[in-house]
Each structure stands twice: as C-alpha cells, then as structure tokens.
Structure 1
Amino acid sequence: MNKVWLIRRIAMSFITILVTIIISWILIEYSPESPANAILSNIRANLAANPKFVKIYESEVQYYESLIPHGNPVIEALTYIANVLRGNLGLDVITEIPVTKLIAQALPWTIFVVSTSLIISFFLGIRIGQKMGYKRGTKIDSALMSTFTVMKSIPIYISGALLLYILGYNLHWFPTGGAYCPCVPMGLTFIGCVLYHSALPILTLTLANLATWALHMRANTIYTLGEDYVTFAEIRGVKDKTIETKYVGRNALLPLYTSLIIGIGFSFGGSVFIEEIFSYPGVGHLLYNAITNNDYTLEMGIFIIIITAVVFGVLIADLTYSLIDPRVRYE
C-alpha cells in the first residue's frame, strides 16, 4: 500500500470530521431557533404571565444566556473543537451530567443491537439474494421478490410496532421494553436476560435490512452471471460450486462491502425509532430525548460519535477493499 496515499487518506478523514463538526456546531449554536434560545423564550413567556416567579427563574435565565455564544464564531468553534479533542463534550443541559458519561452508558447497548442485526441480515441477505439470482424467473424467485419488496416498503416503525403488539403484548413471548431485568445478578443469567430483551429490536432491524441486502445481492448476481469470465469458466468445465462462490459470489459481493462497513459506522447512532418503540436505552433513545428536550449539547455529542464512526468506516472500507478485490491492489 502506498504510504503517501495512506497518509493523505487519513488526513482527509480527519479534516472531514473537523469540518463536519464545525458546520454542525455553527448551525445549532447560531440558529435563531437554537435550543438555548428556545428554552429562554419559554422561560420569558412564563415570566411574562407570572412576574412573581422572576427570582425563581433568575438563575436559569443566566445559565441559558451563558450557553448562547456572543463572541467570534470562528474562535468559539475552535474552542469547542479543542474541548472535543480533549474528550470534553460539555454538560448535559437538562441533568448537567457530562455528555461523555451519558453516551458511554448508552453506546454499548446500541452497538450490540444494531451491529448484531446488521451482520445477521447481511449474511442471510447475500446468501438468499445469490440463490434468487441463480433461480431468477422461477416461482421461488418471484415469491421472494414480492415478499422482500413488501418488507422493504413497510416503514421500520410500523413493523416494530406490529411485532411489539403481537409478540410482546398479545402473545407475551418477549418483554415490551428495557434492556435487562435490574433484579437479575451478573453472570450467565444476566447475559440470557440481555439477549431476551434484545430479541425484538434485533428481529425488527434484521427483517428491515434483510430485504435490502437480498434484493441488491440478487441484482449483482444476475449482472455478474452475464460476465465473460463466468461464461469462460463454464466452458472450461469449472465446478458449479466453484463458479458460484469464487467467480459469482465474491464479485457480486464487492459493491455491498462498502455499504456494510458504512452501515456499521451508522450503527453507532442507533435506531431512533426502534429504540424509542422498545424503550431500549441506546444512543437512538438518547438522541430522541435530546431532540425533544432541546438538549443541544447532548445532540452535538451524539452527532460527533456518528460523524466519526461513519468517516472511519469509509476509511476502513478504502483500506481493506483491496483485500477482497486484487484489481484495486494492482492499480
């Protein structure tokens, strides 16, 4: 691998993260409808209706006014970036708990649920999609195409609510919320409890992603089957299993590899709808609460995690793509 290209690619990723964070911070901080301004407007509206509460709200008004930047935007942004590089994402506006602590508590649950469902759906999807490509035009292919098209068209919050209602509230097969039972001691029982509570969120996300991977893999397989090197391998008498795995499967998988790595990066942001529906204490649930409460420091902290994870996901995809596609390595 070219060292100059590697250094340049890492530098570009780092600059991309910094620029994106600065733009996001400026849009939130200097917006006329910024969270701090919105909260101050509500407090002042309450004071206008009830002037006798001026003393009670005086400290809150001073606190939220201090959160509104009054200096040079560039200097303010550079100060914020310097704090971020030191690991200081500020205090949560509502609870005044460090944002890093709140994210650290929620992130493991999100990574577990979203990444598990993404990996399961990916490997199932590419296998089913490849078989569909080989059996294109048959009744099985048509039935699966219709099924996956319907699955893909249903919004994830609808499918999540249906699974929760049927499997959770009606049949009582799975819990309807939470990540674990607080009364369960640490050990194998606790692990089983965590898996039991995560079953419905993982199932919902797996079904939602499965259709996408399967349909994309089917299209890539059909396209690859028409390539000259596949026809030449068939003429040479190469075994069907070898053609299916090494000639067709591997090349049809290449366009999906980058999407998988980027998807893992996005998984650090969680699934807002799913985590809110199932009351799962992940980053998505945290982000939903931050948006509804105008908690902009927590919003920015979560945005930084998502931005960093996605950019590094793209970087990892670039660095490892040559391992599965020798043509890139030769170039």
Structure 2
Amino acid sequence: MNKLWLIRRFLMAFLTIIITIIISWALIEYSPNSPANAILSNLRVTEASNPKFAQIYASELQFYKDLVPHGNPIIESLNYIIQVLHGNLGLDVISEEPVSAIIAQALPWTIFIVSTSLIISFFIGIRIGQKMGYKRGTKLDSSLTTFFTLLRSIPLYISGAILLFILGFELHIFPAGGAYSPTITPGLSLAFIESVLYHAVLPIFTLTLANLAGWALQMRANTIYTLGEDYVSFAEIRGVKDKLIETKYVGRNAILPLYTSLIISIGFSIGGSVFVEEIFSYPGIGNQLYYAITNNDYTLEMGIFIIIITAVVVGVLLADLTYSLIDPRVRNE
C-alpha cells in the first residue's frame, strides 16, 4: 500500500474531524439563542429580582459566564480544539461533572447494543437478500421484497414502542427498561452478565429489525446485478452446480459493496440509537444526547457530537484502508 496515500488519507480524516468539530461548536456557541446565553439570561433575571442571589450563587454565576465566549471566534475555536485534543471536553452544565467521564460511562452500553444488532442484522440480511436475488421473480422473492419494504418504512421509534408495549408491558417477557436489574451488583459475575443480556434483548431486537430490511434489499439488488456478469453466465454454461454459483461466484462478489456500508454504519448507529435508548431507558450515548438536548446541556451535547463525528470519519477511513484486503481488484489498482 502506498505510504504517501496512507499519509494523505490520515491527514484528510484528521482535518475532517477538526473542521466538523469547529463548525458544530461555532453553530452552538455563537448562535443568537445559544444555550449558554439562554441559561445566563435566566440567571440574570433571577439575580435582578433577588439581590441576595448573586452573593449566594456567585460561583455558579461565574461558571456560566465563563461558558459564554468573549474573545475572537478564531482564537476561541482554536482553544476549544486544543482542549479537545487533550481529552478535556468541559464540564457538564447541569451536574458540573466532566463530560468525558459521563461519556465514558455511557459509551460501552451503546457500543454493545449497536455492534451486536449490526452484526446480527448484517449476516441474516445478506443471506436472505442473496436468496431473494438468486430466486428473483418467484413468489418467495416478491413476498419477502414486499415485507422488507414495509418493514423499512416503519420508523424506529414506532417499532420500538410496539415491542415495548407487547413484550414488556403486556406479556412481561422482557424488562421494560434499564441496562440490568437494580438488585444485582455490577461486576464480572454470571448473574450480572445474564441480567445485562436479558435487558438488552429488546433494544438489540429493535435495532436489528431496523437494519435487517436495508441489508436484505441491498444484497438482493447486488445479487441480481452480479448474476448478469459474464463469469456467472460462463459458469452456468459449464454446468457448475447452482449452490456453488450462488455462494462462490455470486455471494462473494455481491457482498463486497456492503462491506463499506457496514463499517460506516457503525459510526452512524451510535448517534442513531437516541430513540431506542430513550424508549427503553437504556443508559447509553443516545439517552445522554436526548437528555442534553432537552435540558440545554450543550457541553454534554457537544461532547457526544464529537464522539459521533469521530466514529463516522474513522469508520470511513477503516473502510478505505481495509477494502483492498477483501477485494484483490482494488489492491492491484
């Protein structure tokens, strides 16, 4: 692999992350109705109506005043980027705890349900989609295409709410919320692991259903396209068995375009878990982002945006770097 190309791709990824963070930060900090100004204006109204407020809560007032940028926007943005590169994402507006500590507690939960659901939906989806494409035009293909099209049109929060109502509240098969039972002490014990898996079933199932339809329909389209290639027609003329054509000649080549989508989806899914985690009261990044938006907790909001931005850009970079390992044609080029 060309070293110059590698250096260029890493620099592009790094600059993309930096520029995107600066734009996101500027839109939040310098908007006319920014959260910091809104909080500070409310505190000043309280201070005007209650003179003792400024004396009692002087440190809190100074804390929020420091959050509002006062200097040159370029210098302010550079200072913020320097702080981010040192791992300092600021203090949470509500709890005044380090944002990095809050994210560190929530991120593993989101990675767990997102990665598990993506892996399950990907492998099941490509297998079903491959069969649909190979059996194109049959009743099986038409029925499954209609089913997955309808499934894909159902919003994530609707399917999650339905599953929660039926399996959680009505049938009581699975818990209605949380990451584990409050009666169990967290740790590397069998009881804790079983409780975590049990509570994660509904969030994972919801995300799996949301992703399954997309993988199946994409794989079906890729399979149909691959079936029209000359090497497939030549294999059929030679009398190669259908099963071998389906797996070796068609399946391996049809799955290649989906590899990039899979890697990129990991980054996007971290931000896309907001509705699922809120519905099931799951303590992940999505739940924290919902909390931050509804409470004008913009330092936490910005910290989560940084995680999502980094995950997406790194996902694209990994897809570029590893695609040649599974496709020799790209490696030769």
- The equivalent residue for 1:237 is 239
Distance between the aligned counterparts of 2:102 and 2:3, measured in 1? Answer: 38
Q: Tell whether the 8 Å contact from 2:54 to 2:61 is kept in structure 1 after alignment.
A: no
Deviations 1:233-285 (A, max 9, x none): 21123332222122211111121111100011223335000000000000000
More deviation in 38-47 or 270-279?
38-47
Q: Tell whether the 8 Å contact from 1:157 to 1:274 is kept in structure 2 after alignment.
A: yes
Matches within 5 A, 1:27-106: 27-46=27-46, 53=53, 55-56=55-56, 58-106=58-106
Structure 1 residue 50, shift from structure 2 partner: 6.0
Q: Tell whether the 8 Å contact from 1:261 to 1:316 is kept in structure 2 after alignment.
A: yes
Matches within 5 A, 1:101-250: 101-185=101-185, 186=187, 187-250=189-252
Secondary structure of 1:70's match?
A: coil
- The equivalent residue for 1:264 is 266
Structure 1, unmatched stretches of 5+, are: none
Q: Tell whether the 8 Å contact from 1:43 to 1:57 is kept in structure 2 after alignment.
A: no
- The equivalent residue for 1:289 is 291
Task: Give the TM-score of the pair, scaled to structure 1.
Answer: 0.96
Structure 1 residue 29, shift from structure 2 partner: 0.9
Structure 1 residue 119, shift from structure 2 partner: 0.9
Q: Tell whether the 8 Å contact from 1:270 to 1:282 is kept in structure 2 after alignment.
A: no
Q: Tell whether the 8 Å contact from 2:264 to 2:315 is kept in structure 1 after alignment.
A: yes
Secondary structure of 2:136's match?
A: coil
- The equivalent residue for 1:306 is 308
Q: Could you say what the CA RMSD is over the residues aligned between the two structures, in angstroms?
A: 1.6
Distance between the aligned counterparts of 1:56 and 1:279, measured in 2? Answer: 36
Q: Tell whether the 8 Å contact from 1:90 to 1:99 is kept in structure 2 after alignment.
A: yes
Number of residues of Structure 1 aligned to a counterpart in Structure 2 = 331
Q: What code does the residue aligned with 1:321 have?
A: Y
Q: What code does the residue aligned with 1:68 have?
A: V
Q: Tell whether the 8 Å contact from 1:110 to 1:269 is kept in structure 2 after alignment.
A: no
Distance between the aligned counterparts of 2:259 and 2:117, measured in 1? Answer: 16
Structure 1 residue 155, shift from structure 2 partner: 0.5
Structure 2, unmatched stretches of 5+, are: none
Distance between the aligned counterparts of 1:76 and 1:171, measured in 2? Answer: 54
More deviation in 146-155 or 159-168?
146-155
Distance between the aligned counterparts of 1:15 and 1:160, measured in 2? Answer: 37
Structure 1 residue 45, shift from structure 2 partner: 4.3
Secondary structure of 2:151's match?
A: helix
Q: What code does the residue aligned with 1:244 have?
A: E
Task: Give the TM-score of the pair, scaled to structure 2.
Answer: 0.95
Distance between the aligned counterparts of 1:246 and 1:7, measured in 2? Answer: 35
Distance between the aligned counterparts of 1:47 and 1:100, measured in 2? Answer: 31
Deviations 1:48-72 (A, max 9, x none): 6666755555543332222110101
Q: What code does the residue aligned with 2:228 have?
A: G
Deviations 1:290-324 (A, max 9, x none): 11111111111111111111111111100111112
Deviations 1:79-103 (A, max 9, x none): 1111111111111111011111000
- The equivalent residue for 1:25 is 25
Distance between the aligned counterparts of 2:115 and 2:229, measured in 1? Answer: 33
Distance between the aligned counterparts of 1:6 and 1:199, measured in 2? Answer: 40
Structure 1 residue 142, shift from structure 2 partner: 1.5
Q: Tell whether the 8 Å contact from 1:114 to 1:270 is kept in structure 2 after alignment.
A: no
Secondary structure of 1:251's match?
A: helix
Secondary structure of 2:255's match?
A: helix
Distance between the aligned counterparts of 1:105 and 1:298, measured in 2? Answer: 13
Distance between the aligned counterparts of 2:52 and 2:151, measured in 1? Answer: 57
Structure 1 residue 9, shift from structure 2 partner: 0.7
Q: Tell whether the 8 Å contact from 1:111 to 1:267 is kept in structure 2 after alignment.
A: no
Q: What code does the residue aligned with 1:17 have?
A: I
Distance between the aligned counterparts of 2:332 and 2:214, measured in 1? Answer: 31
More deviation in 273-282 or 299-308?
299-308
Secondary structure of 1:109's match?
A: helix
Structure 1 residue 41, shift from structure 2 partner: 2.9
Distance between the aligned counterparts of 1:286 and 1:256, measured in 2? Answer: 30
Q: Tell whether the 8 Å contact from 1:287 to 1:298 is kept in structure 2 after alignment.
A: yes
